Chain A
Amino acid sequence: MNGLLVLFDLVLLAGIVGVAWRCLASTDLFRAVVLFITFGLLLALAWVRLEAPDIALAEAAIGAGITGALLLVTLERLRSIMAERHTGRPHTPPPDPTGPHALLRALHDPPPERRTFLPALTFALVVGGLLVTALWHQPQSTGLEPVVDAHMDVSGVDHPITAVLLNFRAYDTFLELAIVLIALLGAWSLGRHDLIPARPAPGPILPGTLRLLVPVAIVTGVYVLWAGSHAPGGAFQAGAILGAAGILLVLARPRQLPMAPGAPLRLGLTGGVALFLLVGLYGLVAGHGFLGYAEAWAYPLIILIEVAATLSIALALVALFVAGRPTGDDA
Chain B
Amino acid sequence: MNGLAETLAHTLAPGLLYPTAGAILFALGLYGLIRRHHLVLRILALNIMGSGVFMVLLGVAARGEGPPDPVAQALTLTGIVVAVSATAFALALVVHLTRLTGHAVMLPGPPDDDVPVEDISRETHHADGSPADPSSGEDRPS
**A-side interface residues toward B, CB under 8 Å?**
6, 9-10, 13, 16-17, 20-21, 23-26, 29, 32-33, 36, 39, 43, 46-47, 49-52, 54-55, 58-59, 62, 66-67, 70-71, 74-75, 77-78, 81-83, 85-89, 92-93, 95-96, 99-103, 105-106, 108-110, 112-113, 116-117, 119-121, 123-125, 127-128, 131-132, 135-136, 138, 140-145, 148, 160-161, 163-165, 168-169, 172-173, 176, 179-180, 183-184, 186-187, 190-191, 194, 234, 236, 239-240, 313, 316-317, 320-321, 323-324
Of the candidates B40, B62, B74, the one whose C-beta lies within 8 Å of that of A75 is B40
Name the distance in Å between B104's Cβ and chain A's nearest Cβ: 6
Contact assessment for A163 and B104 in the assembled complex, using a CB-CB cutoff below 8 Å: no
Interface pair B27/A29, CB less than 8 Å apart = no
Given contacts A20-B48, A50-B61, contact A102 B34 (CB under 8 A): no
Q: Which size bracket describes the interface of B in this complex?
A: 35 or more
Shortest beta-carbon distance from A265 to chain B in Å: 17
Q: Are A160 and B70 in contact (CB under 8 A)?
A: yes
A4 CB to closest chain B CB (Å) equals 12
Rounded to whole angstroms, the CA-CA distance of A324 and B74 in the bound complex is 30
Are A120 and B75 in contact, with the CB atoms below 8 A?
no
Q: A50-B18, A165-B77 are in contact. Are A190 and B92 (CB under 8 A)?
A: yes
Q: In the complex the two chains form, what is the Cα distance from A215 to B80 in whole Å?
A: 26
Q: How far is the CA of A160 from the CA of B93 in the complex (A)?
A: 37
Given A71-B40, A184-B85: A120 touches B34 (CB 8 Å cut-off): yes
Q: Sample 20 A-B pairs with CB under 8 A, ordered by A number.
A: A9-B17, A33-B40, A52-B68, A58-B80, A71-B91, A74-B95, A81-B102, A109-B36, A128-B26, A128-B27, A140-B64, A144-B70, A144-B71, A160-B67, A163-B70, A164-B70, A164-B74, A168-B71, A234-B77, A323-B92
